[in-house]
């Protein structure tokens, strides 16, 4: 009898479009953004559109934010059996699920929006956008990497348009009925990301550019779905512009940003292949989202600091894999690194922050003190969670140039946390060191978000440097019987520290100095703690 009932149930659920096995699986959906290039007709009125349909069908996308729809959207939707929501000629939304409300804002050429209802009544707001640009910087010989300001100016138009769209979206969704509804903003941004063009990736992009367009949504609490699940920046692998023009500048200019308390990006990839010929000059971006429970409070996490001496161990051998192995054993959520080389001759011309990030599967940031042997020398930071912004904090120059590295991250519940990584002047006379600490202290005092100060302070507790920094911060106290951090072979002093701000509500569970005598001349330090933030899951920022 049970076999018969199972067979009947399978048939019934099959007719309804849901198999019993699917009921036990976590809720997921796949969102795509794709500029299909002149309606997908560039290679032929019929064959090009057919190829677009083939690619979308094979991707199993549920929602498509489409640009350059240009008369092909209805045909594509009909072939897929999808709902079609156009606005003007350019942007449109195609959906496997019903579109129950138009929430479009701004001009019809640049933005279309819809509320989509999934099985079970779950709703989310989806926007397809196309942003303009002021000047061509992708064709051969049109980009001046030695002049980042000119590159920013070329994409400033996209930033201004996105600001208008975001303001209009916030107003449109301000009604309480949209409270906590997930929001997707996807499309062709015609600008790159500041998360890619950072100092850690200078060898790939040949310029450090703080693109204003990507800041608009990231600063508003939206998450870059692709970079969130692909922390290692690889310009060739990441690029969406352009599979049809490989001689042009290859860049990531198509994005799916999202803001949600109960959906999480778990996979994101570009697609730029077709068995015959890929029909567009843009690769498509496909992100898989999975439903998750909203975070009610922060889980404990582990923070570490480690002066790695550019990977040179006490046996005088540069072995970055050994350094990575030490970090893997620590299993940190965040780690501040000092004495890091980026493509420096003495360490094998390796991009150490990027390589360590790749080996640990973490997001990486870097800020240099100075040029050295064909590369740069400075500070790095690795994060298990997406980096929102990187700040270079210029300090008083001592016996060597010095900066502090500020890295802001978004924690799982959406709240911000800023880390400041330092490596102060090293000589016995503390004049420069104290001035550097004063600069950091002034920067931290102006913050309105929780912060962690950590690194190699090159000074002892009881010094005026540490006294100053301890006034508004709590040290993660190490065990009194094992608190020395330098030198690693026969430690006799404590110069590496982790502090948290007094304004925030912290619980410190465990602090430990790791007995690692070979990989560096410093011993790593870690702390397990929890930041108890106010429950912000009840209301999303708009």
Position 299 confidence tier, pLDDT thresholds 50, 70, 90? confident
Three-class secondary structure assignment of 300-318:
CEEEEEEECHHHECCCCCE
Q: Is the pLDDT of residue 282 over 60?
A: yes
Position 14 confidence tier, pLDDT thresholds 50, 70, 90? very low
CA distance 500 to 430: 23
Domains in the chain: ranges and CATH: 29-291 (3.60.10.10), 301-531 (3.60.10.10)
pLDDT the model gives residue 463 = 97
Please indicate whether residue 6 or residue 336 has the higher confidence score (pLDDT).
336
Position 413 confidence tier, pLDDT thresholds 50, 70, 90? confident
Residue pLDDT, tens place only, 198-242: 999 999 999 999 999 999 999 999 999 999 999 999 999 999 999
Residue 352 β-bridge partners:
none
pLDDT the model gives residue 369 = 95
pTM for this structure? 0.92
Q: Is 539 helix (H, G, I), strand (E, B) or coil?
A: coil
pLDDT the model gives residue 5 = 36
Phi, psi of 163 (to 5 degrees): -60, -40
Q: How far apart, in Å, do the first and last CA atoms of the chain sit?
A: 54
Residue pLDDT, tens place only, 416-475: 999 999 999 999 999 999 999 999 999 999 999 999 999 999 999 999 999 999 999 999
Position 296 confidence tier, pLDDT thresholds 50, 70, 90? low
pLDDT the model gives residue 343 = 97
pLDDT the model gives residue 412 = 84
Work out the average pLDDT over 48-64: 98
Percent of the chain beyond pLDDT 90?
89
For residue 503, what are its two tokens? Answer: 């304004």
Position 91 confidence tier, pLDDT thresholds 50, 70, 90? very high
Q: Is 435 helix (H, G, I), strand (E, B) or coil?
A: helix
Please indicate whether residue 536 or residue 485 has the higher confidence score (pLDDT).
485
Q: DSSP per residue over 237-305, as a string?
A: HH--B-SS-TTSPPB--EEEEEE-SSEEEEEEEEE---SS----SB-EEEEEEEE-PPPSSPPPEEEEE
Q: Is the pLDDT of residue 539 over 90?
A: no
Q: In what order do the strands lie in the sheet with 375-383?
A: 363-372, 375-383, 334-342, 301-307, 525-531, 506-513
pLDDT the model gives residue 295 = 62
pLDDT the model gives residue 532 = 86
8 Å CB contact between 113 and 119: no
For residue 431, what are its two tokens? Answer: 């004049």
For residue 331, what are its two tokens? Answer: 């299993």
pLDDT the model gives residue 96 = 97
CA distance 131 to 142: 20
pLDDT the model gives residue 340 = 98
By 3-state DSSP, what share of the chain in percent is helix, strand and coil, each rounded to 5? 25, 30, 40
Residue pLDDT, tens place only, 256-273: 999 998 899 999 999 999
Q: DSSP per residue over 342-406, as a string?
A: ES-GGGTS-BHHHHHHHHHT-EEEEEEEEEETTEEEEEEEEESSPEEEEEEEE----SS--EEEE
Work out the average pLDDT over 146-174: 97
pLDDT the model gives residue 533 = 72
Range with lowest mean pLDDT among 25-34, 186-195, 257-266, 407-416: 25-34
Q: Is 13 helix (H, G, I), strand (E, B) or coil?
A: helix
8 Å CB contact between 162 and 131: yes
| Cβ neighbours around 213 below 10 Å, total | 27
pLDDT the model gives residue 352 = 98
Q: Is 42 helix (H, G, I), strand (E, B) or coil?
A: coil
């Amino acid at each position: 009898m049970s076999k018969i009932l199972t067979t009947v149930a399978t048939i019934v659920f099959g007719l309804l479009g849901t198999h019993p096995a699917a009921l036990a699986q976590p809720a997921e959906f796949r969102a795509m953004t794709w500029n299909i290039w002149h309606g997908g007709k560039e290679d032929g009125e019929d064959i090009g559109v057919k190829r677009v349909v083939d690619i979308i069908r094979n991707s199993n996308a549920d929602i498509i934010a489409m640009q350059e729809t240009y008369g092909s959207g209805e045909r594509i939707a009909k072939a897929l059996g999808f709902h079609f929501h156009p606005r003007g000629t350019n942007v449109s939304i195609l959906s496997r699920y019903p579109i129950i409300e138009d929430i479009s804002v701004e001009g019809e050429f640049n933005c279309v929006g819809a509320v989509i209802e999934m099985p079970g009544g779950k709703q989310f707001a989806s926007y397809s956008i196309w942003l303009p640009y002021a000047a061509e910087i992708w064709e051969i010989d049109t980009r001046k990497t030695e002049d980042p300001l000119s590159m920013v100016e070329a994409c400033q138009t996209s930033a201004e348009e996105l600001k208008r769209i975001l303001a209009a979206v916030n107003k449109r969704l301000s009604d309480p009925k949209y409270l906590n509804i997930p929001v997707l903003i996807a499309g062709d941004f015609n600008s790159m990301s500041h998360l890619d063009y950072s100092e850690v990736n200078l060898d790939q992009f040949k310029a450090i550019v703080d693109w204003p367009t990507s800041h608009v949504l990231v600063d508003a609490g939206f998450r870059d779905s692709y970079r969130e699940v692909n922390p290692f920046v690889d310009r060739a692998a990441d690029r969406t512009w352009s599979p049809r023009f490989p001689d042009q500048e290859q860049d990531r200019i198509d994005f799916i940003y999202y803001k949600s308390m109960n959906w999480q990006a778990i996979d994101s990839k570009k697609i730029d292949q077709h068995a015959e010929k890929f029909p567009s000059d843009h690769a498509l971006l496909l992100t898989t989202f999975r439903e998750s429970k909203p975070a009610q409070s922060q889980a404990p996490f582990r923070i570490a600091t480690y002066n790695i001496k550019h990977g040179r161990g006490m046996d005088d051998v540069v072995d970055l894999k050994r350094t990575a192995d030490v970090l893997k054993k620590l299993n940190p959520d965040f780690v501040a690194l000092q004495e890091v080389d980026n493509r420096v001759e003495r360490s094998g011309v390796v991009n150490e922050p990027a390589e360590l990030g790749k080996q640990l599967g973490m997001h990486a940031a870097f800020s240099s003190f100075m040029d050295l042997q064909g590369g740069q020398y400075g500070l790095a930071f690795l994060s298990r969670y997406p980096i929102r912004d990187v700040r270079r904090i210029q300090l008083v120059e001592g016996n060597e140039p010095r900066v502090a590295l500020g890295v802001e991250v978004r924690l799982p519940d959406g709240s911000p946390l800023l880390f400041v990584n330092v490596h102060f002047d090293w000589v016995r006379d503390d004049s420069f060191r104290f001035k550097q600490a004063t600069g950091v202290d002034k920067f931290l005092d102006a913050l309105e978000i929780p912060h962690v100060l950590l690194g190699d302070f090159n000074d002892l507790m009881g010094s005026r440097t540490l006294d100053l920094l301890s006034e508004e911060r709590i040290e993660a106290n190490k065990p009194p019987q094992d608190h020395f951090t330098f030198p690693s072979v026969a430690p006799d002093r404590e110069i590496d520290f982790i502090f948290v701000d007094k304004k925030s509500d912290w619980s410190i569970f465990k602090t430990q100095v790791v007995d690692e005598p070979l990989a560096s001349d410093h011993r790593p330090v870690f702390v397990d703690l929890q930041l108890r933030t106010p429950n912000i899951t009840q209301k999303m920022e708009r």
